[in-house]
Structure 1
């Protein structure tokens, strides 16, 4: 086999072109079998940073195509996040529900947290069933499910059996329940490698919120 170092630039270019031609042919063959179009249930979970960020990224992507979107914030309702401030500029296409009252360690009131979670979930269901939005982001829903503020069976039953087939739903937050992962179409687990918080760096505007 001829070593790459012995080939001319023209020969390397030709070899690369042939390799890419074969790769494209294989890719086109695979893509031809993908014919289903449906509303997806998407879950972003894990200990790493970027779960809500990924969800909002899809929100902005959908907006770029002129689709209507909705966001229900189950926990961060009291925080003026950069995502929400940016989305307010698209008020003709975006519905935002600030339902959360902060992280559970801030309220220190379980019944209050349960009531807030229920109100947010009812709002999310209404937005999903309305079919007025191409995509609905349930930001930090996994957190209220982790603390059993809403029965997981109720959420799974609704998303599996009642969600309109043409509506995309994104659920974010750590510790996604196995039952939710099981019915989801797309699940991403964010893995933490390094985080500045561990080195004494506080959450900063534009990065953390």
Structure 2
């Protein structure tokens, strides 16, 4: 055996021992709070990927879309026929289009009522609160209300929160925080959002 192969094998054995130890230490079983935030592309896409995974195992899933709900969504269109998936959409769509704080606050309240119901349902394995961070940032929804519902949810339920500028209390509560970092985005160079790729 060459010296290079010997070094490689030793390094991989050391890595395996480390990974095996970490896996052995991870024994807690419960639902999680995941936050997908940051200014990069892919937060909602990652959430829909997890929705697909949960549905693939036969779990019930609830999705509440607070911003992009009225926009075409290929994932939603593909999965919405699944009887285990429930989707609620905020009626006003993009808040920067409506420019009506009263209407947006009312629509947010209606969408949040659906989210709160899902968060209280022990039969729903995964709840996605898509773009809810904007509702908190714009003051349409109170962080204490969201925190209380998250803390009171069934122990086996996992929640994914998506959106830029996640509230510091959400970040503190989360089990996993992933920040999508924008290095370059074609939209900034004039590339139009592409069906099947961006939505």
Question: Hey, what's the Cα distance between the residues in 2 that align with 1:192 and 1:204?
Answer: 18
Cα distance between partner residues in 2 of 1:137 and 1:154? 16
The two structures have a TM-score, normalised by structure 2, of: 0.94
Q: Deviations over 1:116-148 (max 9, x none)?
A: 111111101101211121101011111111101
Match in the other structure for 1:110: 101
CA contact (8 A) 1:73 1:100 kept: no
Distance 2:119 2:102 in 1: 26
Q: Which residue of 2 aligns with 1:128?
A: 119
What is the root-mean-square deviation of aligned Cα atoms in Å?
A: 1.4
* Corresponding residue number in structure 1 for 2:80: 88
Q: Secondary structure at the match of 2:120?
A: helix
Corresponding residue for residue 22 of structure 1: 14
Segment of structure 1 superposing worse, 65-74 or 15-24: 15-24
Distance 2:70 2:23 in 1: 44
1:48-197 matched pairs, under 5 angstroms: 48-89=40-81, 91-160=82-151, 162-197=152-187
Measure how far apart 1:180 and its partner are: 1.2
Partner of 1:204: 194
Structure 1 gap ranges (5+)? 1-7
Residue by residue over 1:24-62, the C-alpha shift from the partner in whole angstroms, topping out at 9 and shown as x without a partner, is: 122112211111011111111111111111111111111
Contact persistence 2:119–2:150 (CA under 8 A): no
Q: Which has the larger radius of gyration?
A: 1
Alpha carbons 1:76, 1:101 under 8 Å: kept: no
SS of the equivalent of 2:184 reads coil
Which sections of structure 2, spanning at least 5 residues, go unmatched? none
Alpha-carbon offset, residue 66 of structure 1: 1.8
